[in-house]
Structure 1
Amino acid sequence: MWPARRIVGESLLSLALALPSAGFEYLDGGGAVRAVGVGLVTGLLSPLRRVLPATVLLATAAGSVVISGFAPLLLVAAWSAGRRIGGFGRASGVFALTYVLSLGSALWELPHFSLSLLTLSALLLLVTLIVPGLAGRYWAQRRTLTDTLGEYHAQLLREREIIAEHARIRERQRIAQDMHDSLGHQLALIAVHTGALEVDRELTGPQREAVGVLREASVAAMHELRDVVGVLRDGPEAPGPGDGPGAAGTDGEDPAPRSRGVAGVDGLVEASRKAGTAVELLRSGEARPLSPTVGHAAYRLVQEGLTNAHKHAPGASITVGLRYEPDSLVVEVANGPAAEPAHHGVASGGQGLTGLAERARLVGGMVHASPTADGGFRLAGVLPYTSPGDGFPEPPPGRATTTFVACADDFRAQSPADPSGQSDPVFDWNALPKELAKAMSRNKRRNGVAVGCGVSALIVLVLVIAVAVGGVLLVREADKAMIDPKQYDAVTVGQSEAEVRERLPRGDSFMAGDLEEGAPPVPKGAECLTLLSTEFGSSWDAEPVFRFCFRDGKLIEKKAFEV
């Protein structure tokens, strides 16, 4: 079924072709009934050219010889046939047959045969038939090449993404293995040694409490390292059962990891207090449910703020604020000036704040860090309650929710979705084999397209040469059959035939072969020479001619009239 836009376009084109066809036929003396019939046939053949391009082209070419109104339709039919006839050989055969049929019909209608007339008819058919067909063929081949390049481009994008994804997976696995082998071993040693030191009877109560804080921190770090290694190996996963509030272990040896959401902020504050730092936790506003990614970003922001305060301002008091605004959660960690010099032996990667800013950006928030007027430091973040892509503020129970952020040149939109509406962001197993098969099937056609382009270029070159030759022939034929009115006036009745014929063209041209209709009667026993005038007639269908009649070797009559 054609879309509405094509139906409207074809209707307008049929009307635009039918009206001139009917007008040409009427002006050619066909009568009103025949003109209407020609217009209706033209309007019917116009949309049929899309379905039967070869048939419509042959019918139009054969009819244009006897029906002058088919001339506009012939151009459109040739263009459409060049675009829609598949295969170079089939298209060449159809156009050759049409050309021969049209040329033969045109010569059949002529009153007499001449080589010049044959040449001009052949050139006229080249212009009205072959040139539109070549243009349509070129357009079709250009569209084919463009579509093929588009498919190859999509294929290259998919291959590039697959290679990049494989490289990322290998690098993540390598990093995970290095972290597990190096950091895991060191943290395990710290946990073992601090556990043994905690039960030493020589330690005082405060010392034992400090060692306990170190042991819990090392165990918690081991759990977080395990989670990070799992993410690097397997990708993001849903929070485990131990991630909820109150998930701290009770056996004293291997506590479960703290919650990484807002509920885990209490654990971070408590750990800092056990380390001997005065930490105040302030909450304001009505608590709102957060998406997992936003809650995790808030947890990391508090963790980074406390870590920086311990490293760069040891002994300073810290204030942690959680403020629930109508549209976002504001997280703030502020510390006063350092009570004692910072420990320079503490390693610092310098990437903490940069990572926090990126994490907040991914969930649609922002982070600000700056010194305070009293010499302290303030870290604050504004986080929306739902991150981009989350359709609900709280995920359904037991279902993992992952936020994906598409890059600027993400190719996933080029991969069609499956019936369920999902699409693999890396590899579309249904679309790619079809695309590859289609591209491979067109590899053989590329040679055909190249050959077609070469043959088309050769035909265009021959056509240009033929048009030039035809122009020269037409000028020569006009010199044989046309004179200026001054030449007519210079000839007088009574001059010898030899003298007059020497001053006039011979008139042996096809252009002067059918000028007797409507002419005055020829004098009895005279032989006449009829020539065309270089001037225009009194109307568009009147041709001015000059006739010179000879008898007994003298010019006995000259007449100027229109036929």
Structure 2
Amino acid sequence: MTITGAHRDAEGTKPRVRGWWERRRSAALDVGLALVSAVECAFEGARFANGAGAPLPLGVLFGVLAGSVLVVRRRWPIAVVLVGIAITPAEMGWLMTLVGLYTLAASEIPKRITATLTSMSLVAMFIVAYVQMAQDVRDAPEDFGDPGAWFVPAMSSFVAVGLSLPPVLFGLYIGARRRLMESLRERADSLEAELSLLADRAEERAEWARTEERTRIAREMHDVVAHRVSLMVVHAAALQAVALKDPPKAVKNAALVGDMGRQALTELREMLGVLRAGEADRPRSAVVPLAAVGVAAAAAAAAAAGSDTDGPCIADVEGLVGQSRQAGMVVEYLVHGEARGYAPEVEQTAYRVVQEALTNVHKHAAGAKVLVRLAHREEEVAMQVENGAPDAAGGGAPGADLPSGGNGLVGMRERVHGLGGVFVSGTTDAGGFRVSAVLPTVAPPAVG
């Protein structure tokens, strides 16, 4: 299983503190800032109480309570900024105001609210700075020389802007950077998930390609071995029956058995040669990416399927019928329409259907009469193999007890359906069996 960034975050995240802090260090930072702000406001509250004639403990307590509000800056940054603006006229809470403005700008609060509170804080600082500087100029004019009327407003504006805008701009930068990092992290997690999904699909396609190739090879092996060996068994049984009575016929049957065996070996060698060639073309030490496994397997299956171009064709059906006749089967072969060239897969599938149907007759209805029909139509080719009842011809060769694996009809149906054709099989009213298949010779139009 592929480990995504979300899993790593879940595994690597430290224990969280109850409340609105994500990490312990965030809680420690906020508590530390709140303590520093409380101490600052306590001193400033004591000074304000002394200047206003209020009790000193009351000013200290007010300063501690006001400064401690900074501990909730992550949860309620608007409240922190509002408290800072409220106590600005008392010349208190400078640290709280700066940190509150930074937190407000870095949070997800709408920008219009941030702009409004920043403007309010700017005005409050300007007023405080203006009043204080005007009083200093009035109390000690000799320290300032001969300032003009612009001096106090300009310096007050400079102080207000210098204290308000830097934390806001820095907060906006940090907030944008945080959102960018979260977006990049989400994209990375999404990409990892997509790559994991693609890898899983590639594995599924590779497994499907391997399964299809194993099925195709098994089908080819079944068609070759079942038909050739079935004829060999039939001829061997006939050879055993006539060996002493009719030596010339026994010699003929023995020659036919040898021919069948050589043909079977030739077809098996061709199939094994294709498989070995496919293995030889694959680098033994190559490292193939997982995403390319499905494509490579599908290409191998297609290449193996393409090797069927040298296989049997419809023209070989007549020879197939002749072999069954040599084995003692009564076969009538009818061709309708004008023969023409078809795609290699259509030619081979038509041949294999007739071959497997004749093999089934040898196995299950020895001695029955067989009718093989082949029809060439405008956009399709049809074939039908029908046999009578097993005892219609008086029985088959003695001793020809042929086993059956039950895969012949399944293989024929898979072949025909794979080309978009129609396959029907079943018993007849006369007690025989009929196999019919129709293969399209024109590819269907592409959709879209």
Q: What's the TM-score, normalizing by structure 1? A: 0.38
Instruction: Name whichever structure is richer in helix by fraction.
Output: 2
Q: What's the TM-score, normalizing by structure 2? A: 0.46
State the structure with bigger RCO (CA 8 A, min sep 6), 1 or 2. Answer: 2
